[in-house]
Structure 1
Amino acid sequence: MKVGILAGGFGTRLAEETEIRPKPMVEIGGMPILWHIMMYYHTYGHREFAVALGYKGDHIKRWFAEYNSLNGSMTVNMATGEIKRHGSSIPDWTVDLVDTGIRTGTGGRIKRLTKWMGNNTFMLTWGDGVSDVDLNKLLAFHRSHGKLATMTAVRPPARYGHIEFDGHRVVEFNEKSQAAEGWINGAFFVLEPGVMDYIDGDEVMFEYAPMQRLAADGQLMAFRHESFWQCMDTLREKTVLQRLWESGNPPWKLWKDQDQ
């Protein structure tokens, strides 16, 4: 099953990083978050990807073009130019890097992936978030209901403490309680080709009219994920992910280092 990843946005809320590179190339633990996402899908057996490019897409193309040649140690014979590589472990991926326009909306980018995804069920996510969602259970849920679209619904931790009042008296205070937050769209979709019919053009944002119409038609289902999920919209959130990585046990790292 092919996996589509949207990697074309401007990342304006992470401008400290995205002035020089696209958000999916911002590094966590020395590797782009896009790589982390792909490695996560890889651990569930997914090897074919289509990455929708836009803002600074050349950075992403260059990274993939150089990844094979620069991974691991190497010996260079300066006289002959011969290069011998040692100990590199390259994932067996096929990656379509698809130009989808600089200002194209998320819906438009998905629709531009149509010919790359084929007439089959496919997975899709944003190029700026990681999770420990069970992709096998997600896919089984999607296949069980027979609708066009499944999104992963998540409840992220509140950014601030949650307070309940009785007049001016605080009756309950929960510091960063997850339960205080409602369910939101966490991406990690499973979609049928018929979803493309709900996307009218390049400027369409998938999160608005297409998903609203899918819901109105009874074609959008939610897979509720209670465990870890984290996007990387801001520098603060990048720091959260970096600290999780440095802890030695980041929730999304299901792979072993030799699998990289």
Structure 2
Amino acid sequence: MKAVILAGGLGTRLKPFTEVIPKPLLPVGEKSVLEIQIERLKNHGFNEIYLATNYKSQYIENYFGDGFRYGVKLNISKEDKPLGTAGPLLLLKDKLVDPFIVMNGDILSLVDFGKLYSFACHQESLLTISIKKEITPFAFGNIFFEGDRVTGI
């Protein structure tokens, strides 16, 4: 199974920390967010992970290498210029012909990615979104749905 982790953002809200290190490499306890994500994906059956990078990409490349020590194949996909949130997927369109998971490189979740992948593969839809229901809507990023179907973003 394949996954893409979007890890190319500037992390401007976390300055000055992100002036030194990219946001996905910031530590949570003894590991970086990205390291925790890679290990969780591996534990849920994912064996090939694409890291979509831009800002301070060399730090991520140097730290993770080819993924051997994590038991996965890691591929770095570096944007020459920022392409926006979903833009990096265009760079990978020829490599991602089978179903795959996409996740942000700065979010930790307890989602069982293997179950999510399996669920998504059995749906008759273009994509599946994993969200957490919030009682109080935010100023942005709200998702509206009826039953299991997304009706608006």
Indicate whether 1:5 and 2:5 are aligned.
Answer: yes
* Aligned partner (choices 114, 118, 122) of residue 140 of structure 1: 118
2: CA distance, partners of 1:6 / 1:122: 13
The 1:16/1:150 distance shift into structure 2, 3 A limit, reads same
Q: Report if aligned partners of 2:2, 2:101 keep a CA contact under 8 Å in 1.
A: yes
Larger radius of gyration: 1
Q: Report if aligned partners of 2:6, 2:51 keep a CA contact under 8 Å in 1.
A: yes
Alignment of 1:194-233 (within 5 A): 221=149
Other structure's SS at 1:146 match: coil
TM-score (norm 2): 0.82
2: CA distance, partners of 1:105 / 1:221: 25
Indicate whether 1:95 and 2:50 are aligned.
Answer: no
Between Structure 1 and Structure 2, which shows a larger proportion of helix residues? 1
Q: CA deviation at 1:28?
A: 1.3
The 1:221/1:24 distance shift into structure 2, 3 A limit, reads farther
Q: Report if aligned partners of 1:150, 1:221 keep a CA contact under 8 Å in 2.
A: no
2: CA distance, partners of 1:36 / 1:51: 14
1: CA distance, partners of 2:122 / 2:65: 39
Q: CA deviation at 1:98?
A: 1.0
Q: CA deviation at 1:154?
A: 0.9
Q: Report if aligned partners of 2:54, 2:78 keep a CA contact under 8 Å in 1.
A: yes
Task: Report the equivalent of 1:106.
Answer: 85
> How many residues were matched structurally?
146
Amino acid at match of 2:118: A
Alignment of 1:145-160 (within 5 A): 145-155=123-133
Unaligned runs of 5+ in 1: 69-89, 156-178, 186-206, 223-260
Amino acid at match of 2:16: E
TM-score (norm 1): 0.50
Deviations along 1:93-118, one digit per CA (max 9) or x if unpaired, are 1100111233221121111121332x
Unaligned runs of 5+ in 2: none
Indicate whether 1:48 and 2:48 are aligned.
Answer: yes
Indicate whether 1:60 and 2:60 are aligned.
Answer: yes
The alignment yields a C-alpha RMSD, in angstroms, of 2.8
1: CA distance, partners of 2:119 / 2:127: 11
Q: Report if aligned partners of 1:151, 1:221 keep a CA contact under 8 Å in 2.
A: no
